[in-house]
Amino acid sequence: MAGETPFSHRSRAAALESMQAQPVDLLVIGGGITGAAVARDAALRGFRTALVEAGDFGAGTSSRSSRLIHGGLRYLEAYDFRLVFEASRERRTLLRIAPHLVRPMRFLFPIYRGGRVPPWKLRAGMWLYDALAAFRNVHWHRWLSPAKTLAAEPGLRDRDLSGAALYWDGQTDDSRLVIATIRSAAQAGALAANYVAVTSFIRAEGRVVGAVIRDSLSGQEHLVRALTLVNATGPWVDRVRRLDDAGAKPLLRMSKGAHAIVRRERLGLHDAITIASPIDGRVMFVLPWNDLAFIGTTETEEDVRPEDVRATGADVTYLLRSANAVFPRARLTPNDVIATWAGLRPLLAPDRSLPAGKVSREHRIVESPSGLMTIAGGKLTTFRVMGRDVADRVAKRLRQHDGRPLPPRPATDQLPLPGGEIAALDVMMQSVRMKELPAVTARHLVDSYGTESAAILNLVSKNKVLGGPLVAGRPEIRAEVVYAVEREMALRVSDVLMRRLHLFYEDPQHGAGVAANVARKMAELLGWSSTRDDDEIGEYLEEVRKSREFLREVGRPSGVASASS
């Protein structure tokens, strides 16, 4: 792939070498959406920026969201108007700078007599939602009569239905949004490496002046000197703050959210549906994703380590009961669940008197006495603003340090993310179709890679075999494995199957049937030994097994776990 911006194991090695060889202006700790946004903004200001991520980019919370770029209708109930205003503006910005990764989505919010949300409240909320978007959302909301609601969504419960609000929000591919943002940072000069954790800080005269980093793939430790350090580790921020100050009081409280995926046809789903769960009144979603439907999310406070969080049998039961109450003919059971995922919301609120669902999703930047900057809270939707706010602070700190002028804020709201250079996705679709790929594959490539699908087609032109499907009957093709390794820094089988492609979630076998093929191709590209090959496959299948544990917990047998083990 000569001539293209590299973002691979080779650029990773070069980045690690460079960040050890010379001090950086900024070391960003954490490669979720927040760290990615900070690195992008700082690198675009011309700061020598490095970013290290303990696992794979986005593997923390940022690949476990509801995948919505939304104003946050539900935050109106908490009178969080500032956040809704900001998030609505960001929705508009992201639809523009990443049209391939952020798509407008139509939502129906059906209202039932006797339900928790009365019609007058939803009507008022809808006007406010449009007003806070400065009446510049994709379309204004509308009201549907019960008959029109059922015509739009025939699977909905008709009993007690008094109508529905029809409104618009955005849907994204969260883990691909993280990769695109980090690649944008790298294009601006940021040095980025996944599978590299900060294990301790270096101090001089009471200030943090660098960090010891550990490469979990080689086992090697290195030292990085930095003028500023930003802790952007989401649910891990308190753990990292304690590396700096063992007595640091927690900033966060965690709220777990779980999702379950079922076949879309089971619900007959046309649009995204917002529901108030009949179990506890929580606002939740049933979201279409190709031929699947995501049901989520739960909101529970659990004392679980972020690395161990998963959807339990109880979570799945709650999600299915809520969905079945609104789609009564679906009669979903745990055996209908294709996959699940769960994450921890890093909420800013040690005050436990407020229920997690009512805690603001705003972000805050705090500085420790030693100078470690921590960004906590926030949402996927507002990542660009979070990055900008942190970079503003970094710029001031650097000016205090060596008197350099404050650079102008970069136009991160205008600069497209990689692949987002053209908004006319249908035109792009036609050029992809000319390569004689099936329509579903063309759609998948354009939706995932935007203008960069051209690079995948190049691979296919050079080697026709790479144009074949990765899993029979599915849209993903073999060239995407090569692309993930060469252009998206995928280093492990799970990076490819979970976060670059989504077979772990979307294929009923979780991609287990092709894990060996993917490992073989990666071994060839990355020079793995044969034992590494086997370890990778084994670890991937273990991930698959763990993700099916909920079935045992609700007392049902698991067909898939045995098929893949």
**Binding residues for ligand FAD (CB under 6 A):** 29-35, 52-55, 59-62, 64-68, 70, 197-198, 232-236, 240, 257, 297, 343-346, 378-381
Instruction: Compute how many other C-beta atoms are within 10 angstroms of the C-beta atom of residue 367.
Output: 12
Residue positions counted in the chain = 565
Shortest Cβ 456–ligand FAD spacing (Å): 26
Q: Which residues, in sequence order, are CB contacts of 209 under 8 Å at separation 6+?
A: 202, 203, 225, 226, 227
Least distance to ligand FAD, CB of residue 149, Å: 24
Find residue 171's DSSP bridge partners. Answer: 68, 103
| Strand boundaries in 219-356, DSSP class E | 221-231, 252-263, 272-276, 283-289, 292-296, 339-348
Instruction: Determine contact, residues 307/254, Cβ cutoff 8 Å.
Output: no
Q: Are 316 and 550 in contact (CB under 8 A)?
A: yes
- Cβ closest to ligand FAD, residue 34 vs residue 448: 34
Nearer to ligand FAD, 212 or 423 (CB): 212
- For residue 434, with 0-12 CB atoms within 10 Å meaning exposed, 13-18 middle and 19 or more buried, which class applies? exposed
Mark 161-180 as b/e (b = at least 16 C-beta within 10 Å): bebbbbbbbbbbbbbbbbbb
- The count of other CB atoms within 10 Å of the CB of residue 524 is 11
Answer whether 106's CB lies under 8 Å from 168's CB.
Answer: yes
Residue 384 identity:
R
Q: Measured from the CB atom, is 35 or 420 closer to ligand FAD?
A: 35
Q: How far is the CB of 269 from ligand FAD (least distance, A)?
A: 17
Q: Which is nearer to ligand FAD, 264 or 345 (CB)?
A: 345
d(CA 188, CA 159): 56
Question: Rounded to the nearest whole angstrom, what is the least distance from the CB of residue 278 to ligand FAD in the complex?
Answer: 20
DSSP 438: -
User: 198 or 485, CB closer to ligand FAD?
Assistant: 198
196 or 470: CB nearest ligand FAD: 196
Please say which residue, 235 or 467, places its beta carbon nearer to ligand FAD. Answer: 235
Least distance to ligand FAD, CB of residue 257, Å: 2
> CB of residue 64 vs ligand FAD: minimum separation in angstroms?
6
Q: For the CB of residue 277, give the shortest distance to ligand FAD in the complex, in Å.
A: 15
Kindly tell me which of 55 and 357 has the beta carbon lying closer to ligand FAD: 55
In degrees, to the nearest 5, what angle opens at C-alpha 90 toward C-alphas 87 and 96? 150
Q: How far apart are CA 13 and CA 267, in angstroms?
A: 47
User: Nearest distance from residue 475's CB to ligand FAD, in Å?
Assistant: 24
